[in-house]
Amino acid sequence: MDNEKNSKLNIVVDTNIIISSLINPKGYEFELIYFNEIHLYVPKMIFFELFKYKDKIISYSKLSEEDVLDLFYELIKKLEVVDEKQIPGRYFKRTYEILKDIDLNDIPFVALALFLELKIWSGDKKLKIGLKNKGSDIVLSSSDLFKIFNKYE
């Protein structure tokens, strides 16, 4: 299994990508999640965040609650969940210092990415620009991933 992960792009995925894929299961994000060349990591807290936005996801998707939950069930099979307790505290301290003037809500994702030495797949432009301004180019957008895998038509 580790060899399989090593041959794929390993990346931490932000909640906004998961929400986008649930709202639009025919969209780019959903397609990329199911693309076999990507292995996705998420912090465990993502489930709390997704539950918090459950009603909005259902409303925007125009799908039934059952259909959204079915999609979610299929989607979580593609995610490797990492308990934040496995991430040493120094990564959270470092991440706090980096994000204190960008967005503290992204701490679990950035700390996980730093701990695993991976990039983050996110649609959060503020995070991408903020980190880039601090010399960190760890955030990839959906269009960045499509370019990497030459998936544009």
How far is it, in rounded angstroms, from Cα 70 to Cα 13? 20
Domain membership flag for residue 153: no
**Could you tell me which residues are beta bridge partners of residue 38?**
9
Closest CA to 124 of 46, 24, 16: 16
Q: Decide if 40 contacts 6 (C-beta within 8 A).
A: no
* Predicted local distance difference test score (pLDDT) of residue 140: 95
Query: Position 119: which residue type?
Result: K
Closest CA to 118 of 10, 4, 5, 29: 10
How far is it, in rounded angstroms, from Cα 109 to Cα 131? 13
Domain membership flag for residue 93: yes
How far is it, in rounded angstroms, from Cα 61 to Cα 118? 30
Residue 106 has pLDDT above 80, yes or no: yes
pLDDT in tens, 57-102: 999 999 999 999 999 999 989 999 999 999 999 999 999 999 999 9
How far is it, in rounded angstroms, from Cα 100 to Cα 107? 9
Residue 68, domain CATH = 3.40.50.1010
Q: Decide if 16 contacts 123 (C-beta within 8 A).
A: yes
**Paired tokens of 113:** 């990415």
pLDDT in tens, 11-70: 999 999 999 999 999 888 888 888 878 999 999 999 999 999 999 999 999 999 999 999
Domain membership flag for residue 72: yes
| Number of domains composing the chain | 1
- Distance in angstroms between the alpha carbons of the first and the last residue of the chain: 31
Domain membership flag for residue 97: yes
Longest distance between any two alpha carbons in the chain, whole Å: 43
Domain membership flag for residue 11: yes
Residue 122: domain span: 2-148
Domain membership flag for residue 134: yes
